[in-house]
Structures are given as structure tokens and as C-alpha cells.
Amino acid sequence: MSGHLTLPSVVLEPGFVHPAHEPYLMEWHENAIQRADAGDVAASVCHQAALIDLALFGRMRHGWHEIMEEHLTDNGKPIAYSKAFGLRLHKFDGQYRQPTIHALHTRWWIECLANPNGVNHAVYADMVLAKRQVDGLIYDADVSKTILRHRMKAELTMSMAMGAEILKAAGRLTEALRLELATNIVEPTKCPQVGYMTSESFRLSALRTLGHEALFPTGIGESIEACAEGLDVGWGDFSMKSKVDAYMGTAKRTGRDKQIHSPLVACHVTALAGKIEDAAKKASALERLSAYARHLASEPLDIPAFQMRDVPIPFGEDITPIEALSASHLIARCQGTN
């Protein structure tokens, strides 16, 4: 088990990490261990740290499952944030006990790495099924009361992909349940196409796990092209032209956002490229992918941070473990070493 659905097509094994990324990953990993040992940790930290373990050492060297058991468990359920981590977040100290699907999947995945033959998949499957909503989708309605229309579609498709993986491992995917979940994740009134690369990649992953890949919507080639507009290299996760305010139906609030390229998004495009119907569009996407890999090979640290409108600071970090691993994979792929 050397991969993860958040990094499609990436094989996590020693040898592919680029020399420009390795010192950063080592430092990030060590800092994560020090904070986690003090109880300051999140499921997303354990997730990325385990990815680094696999990429650098070929196995999980640190006891992330033990850390999750001690600091990221509440009433037997995996949660997203530890108490100490929650105290660092603005006005969040009373909300850290969030039993999210991402936390659930991370705990399950890490346990599979630590003890592949000793995981009680049924326990995790029960928690996934408890997340099934009356609309037939799987998502964190108990964590956020946001109505379905306003929920991020990447949340819906990722939650379905993660839930389906666990249900499959537990042997809970009956033919009836496979079809029910698959038809709901492609139902336009519930989970419409929005042209986001990550959202559509997770949708494809979910459908493959459910055995209904044929239901994947058409037109992904046009969406991939739109996500490259305004960029010299690579792709952004979405098309700036199509991004509108969910409440106002206008691009007014996003008009000054700047499109950026992302190695992680390029990995999701890699997963989607096989679903492009038009041969010319497919060839163009694959050539752009190769060109982007060559660009990263010459400038491995060119991983820009998203910037919101007039805010003078980046919105989050630029180089993160998951972006660095994606960039290293693309470079290795270009050089024929991965």
C-alpha cells in the first residue's frame, strides 16, 4: 500500500524525491514529530508526515497511528485536530473535536500501513455508513450544517472516494450500494460538474472503486483546457473565468484573483487525461504535462502560493509536503525514473 488517492498516480517509494525538495521534507517531518509528541497535531499533519515516511524511507518509521490514538480520538472516533492544535487556531478552541471523513480515512490508511493484517475494517466501515445522508451522498453533515448546494464539490467527491475505499476493504459494497453511491455522485442536482480538477479526479476515483467508471461525465477535456488559461505552464485547479460567487452568481468577488499552477493539480490532471474523449485535446494535455515536468526539472522550487484578491500576503504556504511530493513525482516521471 504505497499510494494515496490525494496523490493519484504517485508511487511513494525511496529514490524519486528531488534533491531540492528533500531537505524541506526532512525538516517539515522533524518539526511535525516534535509538535506531535507534544500533542500539537492534526490528521492532515499525520497524513502528510506518513506520505513523507513512505517517500523517503519506504515505510512508516514514526508511530503516527499511536499519535492519532492518543491525541486525535474522541469517544472512539478519529478527529481532525488535537486540543493543543485547536488552541492555536483563531476562535477554534471549542470546535476541534471534528470527526471528519478525512480524519477517519487518514486513521484507517495509517493503520493499514502500520499493521495491514490487523485492521478492523468493519469498524471504519460502520463510521462511514453513519455519514451517509438522506440525499445518498457521504459527507460531514454532522460537522458542518452547510446546505448541499453550497458545499464544496471537492469535499463531496473526496468524501465519496475515501468512504468507498473503506467500504470496499470491509466487503460492504454490495451491487445495490455500488450503484446507489455511483449514481448519486454523478447526479447533476446533487454533485454537478464544476470543472475543478481535484473534484473531478476524486469523482473518477470514487467511480472506479465502486465499479462504475462508465458513469464518469463527458467533457473533461474542455475543463482541463480551461484550467490552463492564463498560465505559461501547468494548470490551476479551476478556471478563473468560470469562478463565481455562490450567493451572488457573479465573478465580482473573484475578479482580481490570480491563476497559479500547481504540481498537485497536474497529478490530478494526469489521472483525468485518460477520460478525454477528443484525441487532439488528449495529446495537447499530455504534451503540456510533459512540458510542465520539464519546467519543474529546471525550476523545482517554482511552486507559487495562492493569493486572494487584494490581500498582500499569500493564502497559505506555497511549498507544502503534498506539493513537493507531486513536483518530485512529475520530475522523476519526466526523467524516466518513476
pLDDT tens digit sequence for 232-263: 999 999 987 766 555 444 544 455 567 899 99
Do 135 and 56 share a structural domain?
Answer: no
For residue 321, what are the domain limits? 220-338
What are the distances in angstroms from CA 35 to CA 99, 131, 209? Answer: 21, 30, 35
Do 88 and 168 share a structural domain?
Answer: no
Of 119, 150, 182, the domain-final residue: 119
Q: What's the average model confidence in pLDDT over 268-274?
A: 97
Do 307 and 269 share a structural domain?
Answer: yes
Do 107 and 38 share a structural domain?
Answer: yes
pLDDT at 293 over 90: yes
Burial class (CB in 10 A: 0-12, 13-18, 19+), 230: middle
Please, which pLDDT band fits residue 270 given cuts at 50, 70 and 90?
very high
Do 290 and 256 share a structural domain?
Answer: yes
Which pLDDT belongs to residue 12?
A: 92
Which pLDDT belongs to residue 248?
A: 45
List pLDDT tens digits, range 32-79.
999 999 999 999 999 999 999 999 999 999 999 999 999 999 999 999
Do 106 and 205 share a structural domain?
Answer: no
Of 217, 242, 258, the domain-final residue: 217
Do 63 and 22 share a structural domain?
Answer: yes
Q: Cβ neighbours of residue 312 under 8 Å, at least 6 residues apart?
A: none
pLDDT at 26 over 60: yes
Partner residues linked to 77 by β-bridges: 74
Do 134 and 115 share a structural domain?
Answer: no
Do 51 and 35 share a structural domain?
Answer: yes
Q: What is this structure's pTM?
A: 0.92
41 closest CA partner among 26, 56, 63: 63
Cα separation of 174 and 106, whole Å? 24
Top-ranked range on mean pLDDT: pick from 111-120, 238-247, 312-321:
111-120
Please, which pLDDT band fits residue 336 given cuts at 50, 70 and 90?
confident
Cell of 130: 453513519
Please, which pLDDT band fits residue 306 given cuts at 50, 70 and 90?
low
Of 217, 233, 256, the domain-final residue: 217
List pLDDT tens digits, range 143-199.
988 999 999 999 999 999 999 999 999 999 999 999 999 999 999 999 999 999 999
What are the distances in angstroms from CA 256 to CA 152, 243, 282? Answer: 21, 11, 30
Is residue 216 a contact partner of residue 186, using CB atoms and an 8 Å limit?
yes
Q: How many domains does the chain have?
A: 3
Please, which pLDDT band fits residue 311 given cuts at 50, 70 and 90?
low
> Residue 67: how many CA atoms within 13 Å on its side-chain side?
30
Least confident span in 3-17, 112-126, 133-147, 251-265? 251-265
Do 104 and 8 share a structural domain?
Answer: yes
Do 262 and 231 share a structural domain?
Answer: yes
Helix (H) or strand (E) holding 73: strand 73-74
Least confident span in 83-87, 122-126, 155-159, 181-185? 83-87
Do 72 and 3 share a structural domain?
Answer: yes
Which pLDDT belongs to residue 247?
A: 46
